[in-house]
């Protein structure tokens, strides 16, 4: 497959300079022209050139000012820029390089030397872009591998707990929907900065009860309410879950998906008012993922049939969630829940199990 021609943007307010550069470059590259900084920005945004030859001394917006604007724009900040200038002093060259220019060509310039420098820079850019693609591909592979591993760990709880059934899938959907809503809330900008993080929360959600793998069958499978001693033992599963995840992924603790999963496992039974367990965290001390999981977990428990209770209606469950706003649950998470609540009965039709 023939490689596409590189695109070069020439920015100069002198017609002669433009004509010289066009003549030497056009046989090898697609050349675009602008006579001032403002027009250069417009064209650059539209065509996304592979390289820019930028004159320094131009009216209204000089080359330095133009490059400053480019470096603040996500679409243009990584495009290599050569400064073209009659200024040949060290201070001017240092100014251009400090702003992020990759080369500094003095006027009058040797056209063939410009062509050679352009060729070398584009080859470097091609190799750099290819390396970035390889790194991105490898990172995506590692992320997929980690996601499969975490999902497999989450299935352990499903095999051990007869009440789990489709519980982990249903709560996963709720957590994902909550994260999507809260991503738009400025309060959660740091915790959910991107759609990628929404996926992290959804992947981590099924691991919330992974700690139950350490609970004895007599307690975990008891077909009735637990007594006080049994509840005490069961209350240890959040810390067990945290320990399991941190041990299983000890080489990956700096991975945000692992951290989110471990936080959810350890803190999904904490309460907004500090009366939860196991650490009695309060308010924003509770990790965001655990706050999402708390609402999803309680809603699903209410609308699902258990050996010791029948399933409650959807509306009753929603009212219970609202009643616990600000006490058991983060008020913002409850507000987000209300925006998706009416969709849940339809969603739940996809995840019916024998316990509902």
pLDDT higher than 70, residue 147: no
For 159-187, the pLDDT digits (tens) are 655 555 577 788 889 999 999 999 999 99
* Mean pLDDT across 303-316: 86
d(C-alpha 22, C-alpha 8), whole Å: 10
- Report for 203-212, 223-232, 292-301: range of highest mean pLDDT: 292-301
What pLDDT is recorded for position 85?
Answer: 79
Terminal Cα-to-Cα distance of the chain (whole angstroms): 57
3-state helix, strand, coil in the chain (%, to 5): 60, 10, 30
Query: Each residue of 226-273: pLDDT tens digit?
Result: 888 988 998 899 999 898 888 766 666 567 888 898 999 999 999 999
Note whether 296 and 174 are within 8 A (CB).
yes
CB 178 within 8 A of CB 343: no
Distance (Å, whole) CA 207 – CA 261: 6
pLDDT band for position 339 (50/70/90)? very high
Q: Give the CA-trace dihedral at 169, 174, 180, 184, to 10 degrees.
A: -160
Whether the CB-CB separation of 350 and 312 falls below 8 Å is answered with no
Q: How many whole angstroms separate alpha carbon 311 and alpha carbon 291?
A: 23
Give the separation between CA 120 and CA 100, rounded to whole angstroms.
18
Side by side, which strands form the sheet with 30-34? 30-34, 7-11, 51-55, 81-85, 103-106
CA torsion sign for 276, 279, 280, 285 is: negative
User: How is 14-66 classified by DSSP, letter by letter?
Assistant: -HHHHHHHHHHHTTTSEEEEESSHHHHHHHHHHH--SEEEEES--SSS-HHHH
Rounded to 10 degrees, the C-alpha dihedral 72/73/76/78 comes to: 50
- Crossing angle (nearest 10°) for helices 111-160 and 15-25: 70
Q: Quick one: pLDDT at residue 356?
A: 44
334 has pLDDT over 90: yes
Q: Which domains does the chain have, with CATH numbers?
A: 7-109 (3.40.50.2300), 136-351 (1.10.3210.10)
pLDDT tens digits for 274-293? 999 999 999 999 999 999 99
Confidence of residue 129 (pLDDT cuts 50, 70, 90): confident
Q: Which regions of 98-171 does DSSP assign to beta strands (E)? A: 103-106
Q: Give 97-117 pLDDT, tens digit per residue.
A: 777 788 778 777 788 888 888
What are the b/e assignments for 110-122, b being 16+ CB within 10 Å?
Answer: eeeebbebbeebb
Rounded average pLDDT over 45-71: 89
């Amino acid at each position: 497959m023939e490689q596409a021609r590189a695109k070069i943007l020439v920015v100069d307010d002198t017609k002669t300079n433009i004509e010289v550069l066009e003549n030497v470059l056009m046989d090898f590259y697609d050349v675009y022209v602008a006579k001032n900084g403002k027009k250069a920005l417009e064209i650059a945004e539209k065509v996304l050139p592979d390289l820019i030859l930028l004159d320094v001394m131009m009216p209204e917006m000089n080359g330095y000012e133009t490059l400053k604007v480019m470096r603040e724009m996500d679409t243009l900040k990584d495009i290599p820029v050569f400064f073209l200038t009659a200024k040949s002093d060290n201070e001017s060259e240092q100014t251009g390089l400090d702003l992020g220019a990759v080369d500094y060509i003095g006027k009058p310039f040797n056209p063939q030397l410009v062509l050679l420098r352009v060729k070398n820079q584009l080859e470097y850019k091609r190799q750099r872009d290819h390396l970035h693609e390889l790194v991105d591909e490898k990172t995506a592979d590692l992320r997929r591998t980690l996601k499969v591993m975490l999902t497999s760990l989450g299935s352990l709880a499903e095999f051990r707990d007869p009440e789990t059934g489709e519980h982990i899938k249903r709560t996963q959907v709720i957590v994902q929907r909550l994260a999507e809503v809260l991503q738009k809330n400025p309060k959660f900008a740091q915790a959910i900065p991107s759609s990628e993080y929404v996926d992290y929360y959804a992947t981590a959600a099924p691991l919330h009860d992974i700690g139950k793998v350490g609970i004895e069958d007599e307690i975990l499978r008891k077909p009735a309410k637990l007594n006080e001693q049994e509840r005490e033992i069961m209350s240890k599963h959040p810390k067990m879950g945290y320990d399991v995840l941190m041990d299983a992924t000890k080489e990956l603790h700096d991975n945000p998906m692992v951290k989110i999963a471990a936080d959810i496992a350890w803190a999904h039974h904490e309460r907004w008012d500090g009366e939860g367990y196991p650490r009695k965290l309060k308010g924003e001390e509770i990790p965001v993922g655990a706050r999402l999981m708390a609402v999803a977990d309680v809603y699903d428990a209410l609308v699902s049939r258990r050996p010791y209770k029948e399933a409650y209606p959807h509306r009753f469950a929603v009212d219970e969630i609202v009643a616990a706003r600000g006490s058991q649950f983060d008020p913002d998470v409850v507000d987000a829940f209300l925006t998706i609540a009416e969709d849940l009965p339809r969603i739940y039709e996809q995840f019916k199990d024998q316990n509902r």
